Amino acid sequence: MIQVIRAMRKVWETDPRKDPNPLVYTIITIVAILYPIWAQLSTGGQGDFLISILADAGVYVLLAIGLNVVVGFAGLLDLGYAAFFAIGAYTYAFIASDHLLVTPLHTTVHLPFWIVLFIALFVAAGFGVILGAPTLRLRGDYLAIVTLGFGEIVPRVFKNLSEWTSGVNGISALDKPDLPFWVQGPWSGDPLAIVRDLKINSPLGFYVIMVILVGSCIVLVNNLRKSRVGRAYMAVREDEVAAAAMGVNTVRVKLLAFAIGAAFSGFAGAFYGAKLSLVSPENFGFSVSITILVMVVLGGMGNIPGVVVGSLLIYFITFIFLPALPPLAEEWASSLGLSSLIRPDGDWPGIGQEVQRLKFLIFGLILVLTMLLRPQGLIPSRVRAQELVKGVHEDTTIEDVNAETAT
Amino acid sequence: MGSSVANARARLMSGSRGRLLNGILFVLIGLALIVLATKVVALGPAYFIQIVVYGLADGSIYALIALGYTMVYGIVELINFAHGDVFTLGGFVSLWLIPVFGLNEATSSGPGVILPLIAIFIISMLVCGVVNVTIERVAYRPLRHAPRLAPLITAVGMSFVLEGVMFLWRGPFNLHYPGILPNDAIPLGASGATIAYKDVAVVLIAIVLMTGLSLFVERSRLGKAMRATAQDRDAAGLMGIDINRTIAATFFIGALLAGAGGMIYGLYFNNIAFDLGFSAGLVAFTAAVFGGIGNIQGAALGGLVIGMIQSLSDGYFDSAWTQVIIFAILILVLVFRPTGILGMRVPEK
């Protein structure tokens, strides 16, 4: 049994003819197409809720794909990724709702969703450049702490500038995306006609937009990875000095990776704002940044299918599995004859409460154990696995020299 | 020949750029000071003295945490994200020990509480030290030759593990920490400002610990080994220094100070929460960068300055903006003067 598993692992991880990525892409595509059908059929037409959940998960998939450019491709640690997400969402909120009426500007701007997506993208990328340009000249790990600080500043600024952003209440009633024209027909239960300015309001509509956005982003990022710039990222990640010696402008390359990551985050933020129709500073805290980092690290840094699977998995754990756990735990406790665990008692909050508190511990353990036991992630990037596991770039240590000279 | 000319030109250009940046920095500082001065004059000297006293007490706590960051960074060039949570752990462990030693709010202020308090102090510090050494052993040492990203990620992970453990232990609430230190205050002259005994106690404890640390690093054999390892790890190894032991000792000592800081925080502010270490750690890291990362005196000074800035900002501006101001300072320092005010190491790359 163990040997079978070992043989499968060998094929999965090293056999060059059996790259898992096409298989994973195929599965993801099939699931993405079949999911809404399954959701409607299994609930007898009441599946909007399920479809909406996966559309929300798609926001995290987008974020993880973007963070993967920064962490996985360029090897920079961005701990304030949610800040750009917030910037994208608030950009959408400002220029696609009535909100500017209650700010000192007293006007209102309603740009269409499709344009705001790209405005949010450029605004977030601009902030990325402003933040990255000075810090990327310094050591790599300074970026981690600067982004962490930035990630703390941005939600606080949105919270404190209540004259402009309504503070903790956030901005609500954002515009829904609309299509300039759409062909109606029997498939949507209407007579055949061309309608103008169709408002997208149904979960299925958002789901379709989400799938299209994620799909095009995957294609774009894959092209980026194979391009000259993409190869420069890997070179900088693996050995900055050698990359610079080969003529790579390391600061520019790192800045570009950082800005592209920020752009994805802003893009996802705009979609998030449109989907939820509400933005509030509470939704963009440090825990969001960490959630996305966990997704990328667990899925496989540098490998896009890995990151997609990792993000869906972590989304499922944090937003579906953990909230559903307390009743389950209480049920198990009573069926095992441990019903005394259910009630709160002194410091013990009751087993239902206690399992809800597990999130921090689970995230921490995933990060630590993945880096220690399987740094290449669940579905590894072949190139990255070589670097992370086999230690081809390990420094020659004194122990090595001793070992060599001893014989 | 050509390359030396190019070098000289590069140096000249970076020099003029540096001077410009420093100019901008001084203008910014000057503006902030002018605004501050008008507010200080408007609100009177007594208020100002009070704010300074609070700033000193806050600053001493930040200095204690910042020392751990700066020592660890100096020796293994790793931002130990878990350090802030080791600080919180110090508070949690001492909070648990206080009733064990039979102390509570009612027994406060007598000379009889001093011995048990010192015992609690020492036990909490040791627990934090052991925890931090374990973290180093489990999460950082195996990755010492891995790409730089790997230990940074495990550091963030360990921070979450510690927070998760404290969360499971005591829950998500703000916990009340018994106020054992006397709340009485000494009036300062006729100004109306007062200085509480606990302010004095916090500053004194911090000074004693920091003096002890700097004597240790400068005089002892292990301290010498630490400085050697920080300068050049391989050369230190060739000189017969046990590098793993030295690094573990650095983590241990850093955690001792953080644990002490956690307990002082509890005694001073009378409350503590599981996620306190996140923001306190970030502020303390700002202090370490401000003073010049890797520089022990710098971290102490940086802690005091950041504590003072926090207190002035709370007192004269809006406390909702304090954290924003501090993190903005972090970014500005890194942009304008990445070596910090006393920094000797030049973090470039």
Q: Are A11 and A18 in contact (CB under 8 A)?
A: yes
Q: Are A237 and A73 in contact (CB under 8 A)?
A: yes
* Total beta-carbon pairs less than 8 A apart between chain A and chain B: 163
The reply to whether residue B323 touches residue A391, judged by beta carbons under 8 angstroms, is: no
**Averaged pLDDT score across all residues of chain A:** 82
In B, minimum Cα distance to A239 occurs at: B147
In B, minimum Cα distance to A154 occurs at: B324
Assigned token pair, B83: 């350090």
Assigned token pair, A150: 């930035």
Residue A193 DSSP symbol: E
Q: Are B337 and B344 in contact (CB under 8 A)?
A: no
Question: What was the pLDDT predicted at A12?
Answer: 61
Amino acid at residue number A251: V
**Averaged pLDDT score across all residues of chain B:** 84
The reply to whether residue A146 touches residue B334, judged by beta carbons under 8 angstroms, is: yes
Say which range, A189-198, A250-259, B58-67, has the weakest mean pLDDT: A189-198
What residues form DSSP beta bridges with A279?
A171
Angle, helices A286-299 vs A140-160, to 10°: value is 140
Q: Are A83 and A150 in contact (CB under 8 A)?
A: yes
Say which range, A145-149, B121-125, B254-258, B336-340, has the weakest mean pLDDT: B336-340
Q: Is B185 on the interface with A (CB under 8 A)?
A: no
Report the C-alpha dihedral over residues A266, A269, A273, A275, rounded to 10 degrees: 130
Question: What was the pLDDT predicted at B12?
Answer: 44
Rounded to 5 degrees, what are φ and ψ at B97? Answer: -80, -25
pLDDT value at B36 more than 50: yes
> What average pLDDT does range A303-322 have in this prediction?
89
Question: What was the pLDDT predicted at A344?
Answer: 65
Strands (E) across A101-231 are located at: 109-110, 171-172, 178-184, 193-199
The reply to whether residue B348 touches residue A375, judged by beta carbons under 8 angstroms, is: no
Assigned token pair, A224: 């980026």
- Who wins on pLDDT, B197 or A89? A89
The count of other CB atoms within 10 Å of the CB of residue A200 is: 18
Give the Å distances, CA to CA, from B53 to A78, B197, B315.
Answer: 37, 11, 12
Question: What was the pLDDT predicted at A286?
Answer: 86
Question: What was the pLDDT predicted at B110?
Answer: 65
Residue A103 DSSP symbol: S
In A, minimum Cα distance to B323 occurs at: A153
The reply to whether residue A146 touches residue B330, judged by beta carbons under 8 angstroms, is: yes
The count of other CB atoms within 10 Å of the CB of residue A14 is: 10
Among candidates B157, B237, B323 on the partner chain, residue whose Cβ is nearest the Cβ of A152: B323
The count of other CB atoms within 10 Å of the CB of residue A137 is: 18
Residue A347 DSSP symbol: T
pLDDT value at A164 more than 80: yes
Assigned token pair, A272: 């998030």
Instruction: Give the pLDDT confidence of A3-14 residue by residue, as tens digits.
Output: 877 776 666 666
Model confidence at A388, pLDDT cuts 50, 70, 90, reads low
Model confidence at A349, pLDDT cuts 50, 70, 90, reads low
Question: What was the pLDDT predicted at A13?
Answer: 62
Amino acid at residue number B147: P
Assigned token pair, A158: 């949105």
Model confidence at A347, pLDDT cuts 50, 70, 90, reads low
Residues 356-385 of A with CB under 8 A from B: 357-368, 371-372, 375
Instruction: Give the pLDDT confidence of B149-199 residue by residue, as tens digits.
Output: 888 889 999 999 999 999 888 877 888 888 887 777 787 766 677 788 888
Say which range, A70-79, B99-108, B281-290, B291-300, has the weakest mean pLDDT: B99-108
Give the Å distances, CA to CA, from B145 to A235, B148, B158, B236.
Answer: 18, 8, 19, 17
Model confidence at B29, pLDDT cuts 50, 70, 90, reads confident
pLDDT value at A322 more than 60: yes
Instruction: Give the pLDDT confidence of B260-270 residue by residue, as tens digits.
Output: 999 999 989 98
In B, minimum Cα distance to A244 occurs at: B349
b/e for B251-261, b at 16 or more Cβ within 10 A? bbbbbbbbbbb
Q: Is A326 helix (H, G, I), strand (E, B) or coil?
A: helix
- Who wins on pLDDT, B181 or B119? B119
Say which range, B12-16, B65-69, B104-108, B159-163, has the weakest mean pLDDT: B12-16
Question: What was the pLDDT predicted at A176?
Answer: 84
Which of A288, A360, A381, A388 to mutate against chain B (most B CBs within 10 Å)? A360
Residue numbers in B near A79 (CB within 8 A): 156
Say which range, A9-18, A288-297, B68-77, has the weakest mean pLDDT: A9-18
Question: What was the pLDDT predicted at B346?
Answer: 44
DSSP H or E run through A278: strand A278-279
Strands (E) across A37-177 are located at: 96-97, 109-110, 171-172
Model confidence at A183, pLDDT cuts 50, 70, 90, reads confident
For residue B302, give how far its alpha carbon lies from the nearest alpha carbon of chain A (Å): 17
pLDDT value at A406 more than 80: no
For residue A367, give how far its alpha carbon lies from the nearest alpha carbon of chain B (Å): 5
Predicted-complex ipTM score: 0.82
Q: Secondary structure of B129-197 in the HEC alphabet?
A: HHHHHHHHHHHHHHHCCCCCHHHHHHHHHHHHHHHHHHHHHHCCCCEECCCCCCCCEEECCCCCCEEEH
DSSP H or E run through B271: strand B271-272
Report chain B's C-alpha Rg in angstroms: 21
How many angstroms separate the CA atoms of A295 and B51, rounded?
Answer: 44
Q: Are A265 and A61 in contact (CB under 8 A)?
A: no
Question: What was the pLDDT predicted at B84?
Answer: 94
Q: Using alpha carbons only, give the angle B146, A141, B148 rounded to the nearest 5 degrees.
A: 5
Give the Å distances, CA to CA, from A295 to A52, A87, A89.
Answer: 20, 21, 21
The count of other CB atoms within 10 Å of the CB of residue B83 is: 34
DSSP strand pairing (B175-176 vs B185-187): unpaired
Q: Is A130 on the interface with B (CB under 8 A)?
A: no
Tokens 């992970």 — which residue?
A: B157
What residues form DSSP beta bridges with B76?
none
Q: Which residues contact B228 (CB under 8 A, 6 or more apart)?
A: B235, B236, B239, B241
DSSP string spanning B278-321? HHHHHHHHHHHHHH-TT-HHHHHHHHHHHHHHHHHHHHHS-GGG
Say which range, A252-261, A376-385, B290-299, has the weakest mean pLDDT: A376-385
The reply to whether residue A79 touches residue B156, judged by beta carbons under 8 angstroms, is: yes
How many Cα atoms sit within 13 Å of A133 on the Cβ side? 5
pLDDT value at A283 more than 80: yes
In A, minimum Cα distance to B243 occurs at: A398
Q: Which residues contact B99 (CB under 8 A, 6 or more apart)?
A: none
Question: What was the pLDDT predicted at A44?
Answer: 79
- Who wins on pLDDT, A333 or A75? A75
Among candidates A75, A146, A240 on the partner chain, residue whose Cβ is nearest the Cβ of B149: A75
Residue numbers in B near A131 (CB within 8 A): 331
Instruction: Give the pLDDT confidence of A29-61 residue by residue, as tens digits.
Output: 999 888 888 888 888 777 888 888 888 899 999
pLDDT value at B33 more than 60: yes
How many angstroms separate the CA atoms of A98 and B105, rounded?
Answer: 54
Say which range, A125-129, A196-200, A207-211, B68-72, has the weakest mean pLDDT: A196-200
